[in-house]
Chain A
Amino acid sequence: MTSRLIGSSALGCLAVVIALLFAAPTGPTGMLLRAQGPDIGTEAQRESGKTLYLKYCVQCHGEKGDGNGYATPHLLPRPRDFTTGKFKVRTTPSGALPTHQDLVNIIRRGMPYTSMPAWPNLSDQEVSDLAYFTKTFSPDFSIPENIPQPIPLPSAPAATNESIELGKKLYEENGCLKCHGTLGRGDGPSAPTLVDDLGHPIRAADLAQGWTFRGGSSREDVFKTMSTGLNGTPMPSFLEALQPEQRWAISDFIVSLSGSNGPGYTNLVVAKHVLDPIDLAKGAANFGSAPVARFPIIGQITEPGRAFHPPTTAVTVQAIYDAESIALLVRWHNMSAEKAGKNDPTLPVPPEEEEESATSGASKGGVFGDQEVAQPPAAADPFAEAAAPIAPPSEFSDAVSIQIPMQAPTGARKPYFIFGDAQNAVDLWFFDLARPDPLQFTGRGSADIAPNDTGDLSGVASYDQGEWSVIFKRPLRATSGAPFVPGEFLPLAFSVWDGFSRERGNRRGLTAWYSIYVEPEVAPSAAGPMVRTALLILVIELAVIGLVRRSRRSAAEVLRAKADGEGRQQAATRA
């Protein structure tokens, strides 16, 4: 009995030991093996992903996953062609596939300033299923040799002024500025020639607007982007070329270019009074410390001749006024200055131009016209010393306009935000940047724009390091257009035309109505009212305390008198 017991327990022990022996080597290696197999999910996961894909993604990415959905002709950048296996935002080396988590992250967060939306409302499982389904479009994902291995992302040293300085130097030495420009505004000499691997035109990111980065704008994100490169685009990987500290330094420099985490869009520009008369010859220097307002630019997609992806994302505006005139300084980033050609708010745009050609951009009808994308895809060597081919002069010049109501609105009704309407006209200040001076128009809707040369308007424009700076100047009260009155608000709106993208007429970027406030010369000071209020309250307080104390004292006297009287009485009775 006992021996049997011992025997069985010995057997049990043996079994455990054997099990452990097997478990020890197989456990970890088993797990490794599984991690090494392509992570393409289960049949059920892919099926669930497919259902979601057909509801949410197919309209852009297409039934075959080739980026040819309904929306595609209106989109730039184009929806990703999943069959290529090329993904921009990854943690893996240049050319490699993304990890499963990379796909999950990018679907969850979306890609800012493109039509690729964020999907915050899908569950974690749904996003993961979608990622599995996306992988089915490219056979690369099921090849074991292709299993993506994330590159090391070392922890960051602290950002210092020195690291920013060093980053600037490295940025210049490593050819970043050839594409991104000296100040990072996307205006490098090669920028106009860039195309992606499929031959579609692509712009070098505007590094001074970090919030537009597809892969995130934090130091860590920029470090990662620089290390991995963006597959399928001319943006190379610098994993081999630069040491981690060097990449950190460049990241610090790039983050410093934006100056802030977000665009800080506002709905108001405040015009400051200046004592010195406004002198156009002094240019931007006139505007000294006038506050800077940033307004978002969106595509004009309301009137025929639509622009679905204007390259301009924002304008910054400052305003000042002197005894007679008001001046507005409008600035925006622009890849290349088109100072030749023509532009006009009335230029017609054929309806076909709303659609980009569905085939490769190298064929006729690409956004930039056929000649300009002649550069063969993928041949863009960032380090090639040969000067970038010079793009032929554009047919259209860059242009900008400010619009204000013809009459200051008395109630809620403003003119229609796109160049006014039949009842409410707008006064349009238009600057074709191929010309020396701005022009004035009266707008009664996009189809009814007439020149209105009052001679009131003057202006200057300059282009420097990827930025246009345009100043408009007009008398506070002019022959045409609402007056600017200190202490009052006036609606205003902007349009920007990029000649390089063949923007003219209705094809342009614009803003909705925003406001300008003409700040009175002497702002009412708070000191007077503050002192008056404080004194008034002080007097009341003292009065109350005084009263209470007096009545208290008299009450006490009465008491004392009473007590005295009683004392006397008592004394009397005793006596």
Chain B
Amino acid sequence: MNILVVLAVAAVFALLRFRRANLLVWAGAWWVGLYVIFRFGFSAPIPSSVVSLYMGIVSIAILAYVSSSEERREEVSRPLVRFMTETRYAALLGATVVAIPALAAANVYVQMNVPLEPPLFPRTVHPASPTEITVHDKKIDLDAGENPYLELAISHPEEFRKHVENGRRVYYQNCVFCHGDNMTANGMFVHGLDPIPTNFADQGAISILRDTYLFWRISKGGPGLPEEAAPWDTAMPAWEKFLKEEEIWDAILFLYDFTGQKPRAKEEVHTQ
């Protein structure tokens, strides 16, 4: 929520209350005020098509309210009728009559000149993985499997650190160019990629994935994405072409270690 915008709208309403504004002014104020809130009041912007939908509802509600009693109808129509009939408003009326079509025409012009955008396709970020894949002639069970070196963390901490360190080497020789030095997707080639690489430092990225899922994505990359994973534009390489199985598992250990996260546990997936 954009507090400043909401406060500003509230302040205008308070002022109108204080000045005992006419119902017509109130109707206008509600319409504009709500529009401003929908449009600028939220930190995550609402799509313009949704905003127009909301504004349609608001317009109907205001109309219904205004015409709900003879008195209100009177209060609203009186100033309007006076504006349209009394001679002292003639000049202003003329200007309004010209201004509204001019504004509408300008709007048409703007609509017809929106910058060209190539077709956009929505992206499936985490498509479902297959249940089993083959990497270097070895079958890997993605559902029941787990990083084979993870248990070393408790049984052989020193061995484990060696695997993490090896993962670090793998990462900085291969992944850093895209995923970046501190894993925030700020590698030196990112300005040429769309979609941009996954930001591993983001707490909602790899912590919600199983390590076998990462194994699949790393070994098979963009070319290994399933049918439903449109639009298959990712530059993520298929690392089985370069890395041994162990190196991939080590890289995964390193990703979690560096970012201080843990892979999602097996049980959670089943209880889901």
Could you list which residues of chain A lie within 8 angstroms of chain B, going by C-beta atoms? 55-56, 59-60, 69-71, 73-74, 113-115, 117-119, 121, 265, 267-268, 270, 295-299, 301-304, 308, 411-414, 416-417, 421, 489, 511-515, 517, 524, 526, 529-531, 533-535, 537-538, 541-542, 544-545, 548-549, 552
Instruction: Return B238 CB to nearest CB of chain A, in Å.
Output: 8
Residue on A with the closest CB to B109? A526
B118 touches A70 (CB 8 A): no
Q: Which residues of A contact B230 (CB under 8 A)?
A: 411-413
Q: Which residues of A contact B182 (CB under 8 A)?
A: 56, 117, 119, 121
B154 interface contact, C-beta 8 A: no
- Given A297-B192, A534-B104, A538-B97, are A59 and B168 also a contact pair (CB < 8 Å)? yes
Please pick, from B80, B102, B172, B238, the residue contacting A69 in the complex, using a CB distance under 8 A.
B172
- Given A117-B180, A512-B233, are A267 and B194 also a contact pair (CB < 8 Å)? yes
- Given A59-B172, A298-B189, are A545 and B93 also a contact pair (CB < 8 Å)? yes
Q: Which residues of B contact A517 (CB under 8 A)?
A: 116, 118
B101 interface contact, C-beta 8 A: yes
Please pick, from A114, A115, A421, A526, the residue contacting B108 in the complex, using a CB distance under 8 A.
A526
B172 touches A414 (CB 8 A): no
B97 touches A542 (CB 8 A): yes
B32 interface contact, C-beta 8 A: no
B68 interface contact, C-beta 8 A: no
Q: Which residues of A contact B176 (CB under 8 A)?
A: 59, 71, 115
Interface string of B166-204 (1 = CB under 8 A from A): 001101111011101110101011011110000000000
Q: Which residues of B contact A298 (CB under 8 A)?
A: 189, 191-193
Instruction: Return A89 CB to nearest CB of chain B, in Å.
Output: 17
Q: Which residues of B contact A60 (CB under 8 A)?
A: 172, 181
- Given A71-B176, A537-B100, are A552 and B186 also a contact pair (CB < 8 Å)? no
A73 touches B232 (CB 8 A): no
B226 interface contact, C-beta 8 A: no
Q: Which residues of A contact B80 (CB under 8 A)?
A: 548
A489 touches B118 (CB 8 A): yes
Q: Which residues of B contact A515 (CB under 8 A)?
A: 118-119
Residue on A with the closest CB to B176? A71
A533 touches B81 (CB 8 A): no
Please pick, from A55, A413, A542, the residue contacting B231 in the complex, using a CB distance under 8 A.
A413
Instruction: Return A497 CB to nearest CB of chain B, in Å.
Output: 17
Please pick, from B173, B177, B223, the residue contacting A416 in the complex, using a CB distance under 8 A.
B223
**A295 CA / B192 CA spacing, docked (Å):** 8
A541 touches B81 (CB 8 A): no
Q: Which residues of B contact A119 (CB under 8 A)?
A: 182
B119 touches A534 (CB 8 A): no
**A542 CA / B230 CA spacing, docked (Å):** 52
**A446 CA / B265 CA spacing, docked (Å):** 38
**A147 CA / B271 CA spacing, docked (Å):** 64
Q: List 7 A-B contacts (CB under 8 A).
A: A295-B192, A301-B189, A302-B221, A302-B235, A413-B231, A548-B80, A548-B81
The tally of residues in B whose CB lies under 8 Å from a CB in A reads: 54
Please pick, from B84, B169, B189, the residue contacting A70 in the complex, using a CB distance under 8 A.
B169
B241 touches A303 (CB 8 A): yes
**A303 CA / B222 CA spacing, docked (Å):** 12
Q: Which residues of B contact A413 (CB under 8 A)?
A: 230-232
Please pick, from A69, A304, A512, the residue contacting B194 in the complex, using a CB distance under 8 A.
A512
- Which of A71, A118, A295, A524 has the most chain B CB atoms inside 10 A of its CB? A71
Give the top 5 A-B pairs by smallest Cβ distance, nearest first. A515-B118, A412-B231, A534-B101, A298-B192, A412-B121
A511 touches B192 (CB 8 A): yes
- Given A512-B235, A530-B108, are A421 and B191 also a contact pair (CB < 8 Å)? no
- Given A296-B192, A414-B232, A534-B101, are A545 and B177 also a contact pair (CB < 8 Å)? no
B105 touches A533 (CB 8 A): yes
Interface string of B198-224 (1 = CB under 8 A from A): 000000000000000000000001110
Residue on A with the closest CB to B188? A115
Instruction: Return B125 CB to nearest CB of chain A, in Å.
Output: 14
Q: Which residues of B contact A549 (CB under 8 A)?
A: 84-85
B113 interface contact, C-beta 8 A: yes
Q: Which residues of B contact A114 (CB under 8 A)?
A: 188
Instruction: Return B176 CB to nearest CB of chain A, in Å.
Output: 6
B97 touches A526 (CB 8 A): no
Residue on B with the closest CB to A308? B177
B91 interface contact, C-beta 8 A: no
**A517 CA / B173 CA spacing, docked (Å):** 38
Residue on B with the closest CB to A424? B232
Instruction: Return B228 CB to nearest CB of chain A, in Å.
Output: 11
Given A414-B231, A416-B223, A545-B84, 6 more A-B residue pairs with CB atoms under 8 Å apart are A56-B181, A59-B168, A60-B181, A517-B118, A526-B113, A548-B80
**A163 CA / B171 CA spacing, docked (Å):** 48
Instruction: Return A105 CB to nearest CB of chain B, in Å.
Output: 18
Residue on B with the closest CB to A509? B192
B65 interface contact, C-beta 8 A: no
B102 touches A534 (CB 8 A): yes
A117 touches B186 (CB 8 A): yes
Instruction: Return A490 CB to nearest CB of chain B, in Å.
Output: 9
**A114 CA / B188 CA spacing, docked (Å):** 7
Q: Which residues of A contact B3 (CB under 8 A)?
A: none
Q: Which residues of A contact B93 (CB under 8 A)?
A: 545
A548 touches B168 (CB 8 A): no
Residue on B with the closest CB to A514? B118
Please pick, from A71, A295, A513, the residue contacting B233 in the complex, using a CB distance under 8 A.
A513
Residue on A with the closest CB to B107? A533
Residue on B with the closest CB to A539? B101
Instruction: Return A555 CB to nearest CB of chain B, in Å.
Output: 10
**Contacting residues of chain B (22-60) with chain A, CB-CB under 8 angstroms:** none
Q: Which residues of A contact B186 (CB under 8 A)?
A: 117-118
A530 touches B109 (CB 8 A): yes
Interface string of B72-112 (1 = CB under 8 A from A): 00000000110011000000010001001110111011001
Q: Which residues of A contact B97 (CB under 8 A)?
A: 538, 541-542, 545
Residue on A with the closest CB to B86? A552
**A142 CA / B191 CA spacing, docked (Å):** 40
**A544 CA / B85 CA spacing, docked (Å):** 11
- Given A117-B186, A512-B192, A512-B193, are A417 and B235 also a contact pair (CB < 8 Å)? yes
A267 touches B118 (CB 8 A): yes
